[in-house]
Amino acid sequence: MVMKSLPEVLTAELPMWLTALFTVLGVIGMALYRHLLLRRIKRLEQELHKQSIIFEKQLAFVQERHTKRIDALDQLNETLMQFAHAVGHVTQGHGFYVDGVKQLSELARKFARTHESLLGRDVYDSVLQYTDAGRAILDAQFCVTERTVRVLQAQGVSAKKLERIQRLVGTKYLVGDIDKLIPKGTEYPALKDIQNAILAASEISEHFDREAYALAVRHFEQVKEQILRTLPTIQHS
């Protein structure tokens, strides 16, 4: 039997060696790929966990801020409703609400200014517009006229008081200064109990623009509704 030389043996066995080599390389490659893949998956899981924590914190912050914003808006809205109530009474001649108009307007403006960073500039501006338009009733003038006397006569005011009111015909006063309506003297203080009736029956100047006031009220309502419809969002960096 003829012995094959080493080169012949290697040549004959080459396909088997190559197959074994590729197999080993394949196993090593798969093991390395699996190792790298697991490392990448682990890094991605860590990053996902980190982003999840950040998102949860951001969401909690935004939700808390939105809740505070709605609460502040509710407080402001309540104050403005009281303000509008007082303005309405003054326009009807109820002079004892004059101080309420002054105090509530200042309260609403101060609140809106203090919470401007939370509620926004639009809310603050709308509150200024709202209260300016409403407070204008205090700067309006009311004039005692002959019609004032007739209206009060129809309401059953005594002849003695009507005589004193007659002497006030033609005089003008600021609505905000209604307490100055009754002149000093022995005969006029008797009108103190009906000064609101006198205001209601008198002519009020156009300084108080009812239409402008109504527009200011609607504008605030629109700004408020916009906030209520806006859902909190998270700003991504």
Mean pLDDT of 16-41: 74
Q: What is the pLDDT of residue 4?
A: 52
Any idea which of 54-58, 144-148, 165-169, 196-200 has the lowest mean pLDDT?
A: 54-58
Number of domains in the chain: 2
CA separation (Å) from 230 to 5, 67, 137?
88, 12, 34
Helix (H, G, I), strand (E, B) or coil at 223: helix
Instruction: Give me 215's structure tokens.
Output: 């527009």
Are 136 and 146 within one domain? no
Question: Residue 2: inside a domain, yes or no?
Answer: no
DSSP classification of residue 71: H
Same domain, 98 and 213: yes
DSSP 209: -
Is pLDDT at 19 greater than 90 in this prediction?
no
Residue 33 in domain: no
**What is the pLDDT, as a whole number, of residue 24?**
72
Q: Which of 59-63, 83-87, 222-226 has the lowest mean pLDDT?
A: 59-63
Check whether 213 has a pLDDT greater than 90.
yes
Within this chain, do residues 198 and 216 fall inside the same structural domain, yes or no?
no
Mean of per-residue pLDDT scores for the chain: 81
Quick one: which of 135, 127, 143 has its CA closest to 73?
127
**What is the mean predicted confidence (pLDDT) over 23-52?**
77
Q: Name the more confident of 23 and 175.
A: 175
Is 81 among the domain residues? yes
Range 165-186 average pLDDT:
80
**Do 104 and 118 reside in the same domain of the chain?**
yes
Is 1 within the bounds of a domain? Answer: no
> Which is nearest to 171 in space by CA: 202, 140, 208?
202
Neighbours of 75 (CB within 10 A): 13
Domain of residue 52, residue span: 48-140+207-229
In contact, 216 and 127? CB cutoff 8 Å? no
Average pLDDT rounded to a whole number, residues 157-174: 88
